[in-house]
Amino acid sequence: MARRSSSGIRCSISGHPCTFPQSQRCRDGHERRELTAETLRLFADDAERARLERETLAIINENKGASKKSAKILVDMLCCL
């Protein structure tokens, strides 16, 4: 189960911030029973799988080119020293 931190929702295992919107809680599934139940639920829920797919693709699309942009900013900063 996810826990709230001062910066938002964090994974209870890794402690990393959740990358999904705060309206969607992270699902750790750190115990086998929880993971199995969650997997079976997702297999049975076409709408939820489709929603998760849309959100995941939106995150991927938002971050496309981020590494290249960051590298360019770094190169520009280093060239000005």
How far does the chain reach from its first CA to its final CA, in angstroms? 46
State pLDDT tens for residues 18-61: 665 554 555 554 567 777 888 899 899 999 999 999 999 999 99
Q: Is the pLDDT of residue 77 over 60?
A: yes
Helices and strands (H and E) in the chain: how many: 3, 2
Enter the pTM of the model. Answer: 0.46
Check if the beta carbon of residue 35 is closer than 8 Å to that of residue 1: no
